[in-house]
């Protein structure tokens, strides 16, 4: 693991501290790395109207995109869970819009890391190419 990946994971872990999860009690921290080395973080934010809840991955992505950072190359997700926690379907679809080959680092509470490509989680996405 290189230093930038260590930094990315540290940011994801720190983001978890800011989770607003009074209903599920399941906190998630996320950090996205861009091609130019910038890091954007996100955490899950729940709402009493469950449908308005937003996941950590989309928060981090939307922060990056809203600041003009479209070249996302890596994403770290950290949870205090014994099992690996993967992005939900909505996050997968949203992320794949920007990089189907996005590298994911999934980190559990034992600091075990699983590496995979986003395309492995959503092999047949709805794509902007379909709209042409």
State yes or no: is 57 an active-site residue. Answer: yes
From 57, 67, 97, 109, active-site residue: 57
Tokens coding 84: 């690996």
Pairwise CA distance, residues 111 & 74, whole Å: 18
Q: Which residues are catalytic?
A: 57
């Amino acid at each position: 693991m290189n230093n930038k990946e260590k930094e990315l994971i540290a940011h994801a872990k720190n983001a978890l501290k800011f989770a607003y999860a009074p209903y599920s009690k399941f906190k998630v921290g996320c950090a996205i790395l861009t091609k130019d080395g910038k890091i954007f973080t996100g955490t899950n934010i729940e709402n009493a109207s469950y449908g308005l809840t937003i996941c950590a991955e989309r928060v981090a992505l939307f922060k990056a995109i809203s600041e003009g950072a479209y070249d996302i190359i890596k994403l770290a997700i950290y949870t205090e869970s014994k099992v690996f926690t993967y992005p939900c379907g909505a996050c997968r679809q949203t992320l794949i819009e920007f990089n189907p080959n996005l590298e994911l680092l999934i980190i559990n509470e034992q600091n075990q890391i699983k590496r995979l490509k986003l395309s492995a989680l959503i092999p047949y996405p709805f794509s902007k190419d379909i709209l042409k």
